[in-house]
Amino acid sequence: MENPGQNGSGGTVRDRVLGLYQAGMFSGAEKLAREYCNAHPNDRSLLELLAVIYQQLGDVAGLVHVCRRLVKLHPASAQCHSNLALALDMAGDSREAASSYRNVLGIQPGNFEAHYNLARQLHALGEPGVAVNHFREALRLRPDWPEAQNNLAITLGETGELQAAIQLLEQALAVHPERVRLWRTLGDTLDQDGQYSEALAAYRRALGLQPDMSRCLPRSAGRCCARDGPMTLPITTCVPGKNMRARGS
């Protein structure tokens, strides 16, 4: 009897799929992996590799489908729930993504990435007050994380906690003065607080780091930091190491 994943030529199907993938032959890799997974629906290794291929191809619907299959097969796996959450995030389904990130935290309460990404989804769902709690927990678990500091500051500003946001940004910039996003968010927050000259100084620091950021320059004679349209940075998605990976790839 053939072992799972073994083909007639003596090599594993996974090896063949991985070879095609590494050669950039993504469509061929997807076809071979999909056909095998349909015939062997419980092969986690091939399903994970198929998810990676769908991500590479930009096939979000295929990616979500495979990740749901993995969660159904392995409901106690934080990795499977996390991959599904990321796929739903890519699909723009914030509510379902938030539910999946909560499932990750039910298994791994100390997963700082899940706290951070859940906060992003809650923010997108119009729940900044709850999002603040998860941004703070992410920073408690990983204190020196500029991206989380920036997004927490944005959310604090939206909930009216301007002084807390300013203090957080100043602390972050003391360690990371090279971070353009932090300077821009500080400028926005100071501007919102009515500290216009301080805001202008923060925008100039951002402009010194990124000269093409022309929108940071003052444009109105009536108020030194007036701008065309909102300047608040969007809640960002940068999470270290969050691209899906099949084990052993």
224 pLDDT more than 50: no
- For residues 155, 157, 158, 159, the Cα torsion angle rounded to the nearest 10 degrees is 90
pLDDT interval class at 133 (50, 70, 90): very high
In degrees and rounded to multiples of 5, residue 6 shows phi and psi of: -90, 130
Please state the rounded mean pLDDT for residues 113-123: 96
List domains and CATH numbers for the chain: 144-237 (1.25.40.10)
In degrees and rounded to multiples of 5, residue 12 shows phi and psi of: -80, 150
pLDDT interval class at 214 (50, 70, 90): low
Query: Residue 111 is which amino acid?
Result: N
With b for 16 or more beta-carbon neighbours within 10 A and e for fewer, the 8-47 pattern comes to eeeebbbebbbebbeeeebebbbebbbebbeeeeebbbbb
What pTM was estimated for this model as a whole?
A: 0.79
Joined tokens for residue 130 = 């709850």
- What is the number of residues in the chain? 249
Higher per-residue confidence, 11 vs 176 = 176
pLDDT interval class at 174 (50, 70, 90): very high
Cα distance between residue 198 and residue 190, in whole Å: 7
In sequence order, the β-bridge partners of residue 6 are 12
End-to-end CA distance of the chain: 26
DSSP-derived secondary structure for 22-57: HTT-HHHHHHHHHHHHHHSTT-HHHHHHHHHHHHHH
Please state the rounded mean pLDDT for residues 162-175: 97
236 pLDDT more than 60: no
196 pLDDT more than 60: yes
In sequence order, the β-bridge partners of residue 12 are 6
**Looking at beta carbons, which pairs linking 31-35 to residues 24 or more positions away fall under 8 Å?**
none
Cα distance between residue 110 and residue 94, in whole Å: 21
- Could you tell me how far CA 10 lies from the centroid of its own chain? 40
Most confidently predicted of 40-44, 217-221, 233-237, 239-243: 40-44
- Angle made by CA atoms 182, 167, 173, in degrees to the nearest 5: 35
DSSP state of 19: H
184 pLDDT more than 90: yes
Contacts of 56 (CB under 8 A, 6+ apart): 21, 26
- pLDDT at site 215: 57
pLDDT interval class at 3 (50, 70, 90): very low
